[in-house]
Structure 1
Amino acid sequence: MQRRFLNQLALAVALAVPYAAMAAKPVVEVYKTEYCGCCKHWIKHLEANGFTVKATDVESPGDYREKFGMAKKYGSCHTGKVGGYALEGHVPASEITRLLTEKPKAVGLAVPGMPMGSPGMEGERKDAYDVLLVQPNGEATVYKHYQGK
């Protein structure tokens, strides 16, 4: 009887852990213009990867980039905020998850410009691009490199 109970308890815990981890992901706030299609596709990418997104249409997403401490040189078409970090551009959900797990001392992540093949910019062409970890001093290091095809 006790063994059966322990087996059932272990199964319940094993099933609950993935759901608890999914529920633990914080909301990503996204500031974008009303008509930008690639921003909408990036939001769908985040949602498909377990994030909840609160999108706000604004006149100038760059104002939020500045407010969150992200340098203009890392700019793209939308700016986000999650877990105290800024997100600039088409940052893959996997790198956001990694950022939230590792919790480095940084402003956040950026994918400058709008590289083809990045989340939200999918198509036939896939350019190589870097996800940058932007430091408080404005310098950045490559957090992850994505190969083009």
Structure 2
Amino acid sequence: MNIHLTGLAALFVALTGPALAQDRNMTVHKDPSCGCCTAWAELAEKAGYKVSVVESADIAASKAEAGVPEALWSCHTARIDGYVIEGHVPFDALARLLETRPDVLGIAVPGMPEGSPGMGDDPAARYEVIAWGNEAGDGTLFQKVGD
């Protein structure tokens, strides 16, 4: 019996391990001089993501290439497991995106709201996380932070 359960456990790890590991790999495109982008990337690492940072003086080109609507632009653009993450997105919203896998291109926190992760991380902060692309069109509410 133990051999059978061990075999099932090994099969489970073999089937889910790479997918789980892939979900945690993130590439963050940022301006070399942007400190809040660096802070967000460091918070992502603390949240368990494996972060690679790409510095670019032309960050607008990264956003355009990723398909982020200009109205949703912030200071950095990340990619993870087929999704685009724009700006200071909280990590609970990112985790929900990766868990529920909606038919969207990405989620964004437009601008640079004070208190968002990397911008002070204030629990009393109020801002919106917007989904866009595919079923979300030009933008729909994905999550409200603070009420």
Which runs of at least 4 in structure 1 moved beyond 4 Å after TM superposition? 123-126
Distance 1:108 1:49 in 2: 19
Quote the offset at 1:84 in angstroms: 1.2
Structure 1 match to 2:38:
40
SS of 1:131's partner is strand
Residues 49-96 of structure 1 show CA distances to partners (whole Å, capped at 9, x for unaligned) of 110011011012221111111101101111111111111100112211
Displacement of 1:105 in angstroms is: 1.1
Post-superposition offset of 1:112: 0.2
Residue 85 of structure 1: aligned partner: 83
How many Å separate the matches in 1 of 2:91 and 2:129? 11
Q: CA deviation at 1:142?
A: 1.2
Aligned partner of 1:144 in structure 2 is: 143
Unaligned runs of 5+ in 1: none
Query: Residue 135 of structure 1: CA displacement?
Result: 2.2
Structure 1 residues 24 and 123: CA distance shift in structure 2, 3 A: closer
The number of residues matched between the two structures is: 142
Name the larger-Rg structure: 1
- Counterpart CA distance in 1 for 2:121 and 2:46 is 18
TM-score for both structures, normalised by structure 1: 0.80
Task: List aligned pairs for 1:1-149, cutoff 5 A.
Answer: 23-122=21-120, 126-136=124-134, 138-147=137-146
Instruction: Supply the AA of the counterpart residue of 1:139.
Output: D
Q: Which runs of 5+ in 2 are unaligned?
A: none
Contact conserved, 2:106 with 2:131, CA < 8 A, in 1?
Answer: yes
The 3-state SS of whatever aligns with 1:54 is: strand
Shift of 1:123: 6.0
Go from structure 1 to structure 2 and tell me whether the alpha carbon gap of 1:63 and 1:138 turns closer, same or farther (over 3 Å shift): farther
Normalising by structure 2, we get a TM-score of 0.81
Instruction: Percent identity, please.
Output: 33
Amino acid at match of 1:60: D
SS in 1 for 2:71: helix
Indicate if the aligned counterparts of 2:29 and 2:59 stay in contact, CA closer than 8 A.
yes
After superposition, the CA RMSD in angstroms is 2.8
How far, CA to CA, are the matches of 2:122 and 2:45 in structure 1?
23
Residues 1:106 and 1:37: Cα distance change in structure 2 (over 3 Å): same
Deviation string 1:17-71 (CA, Å, 9 cap, x unpaired) is: 8xx5863533111110111110011001111111001101101222111111110
One-letter identity of the residue aligned with 1:62: A
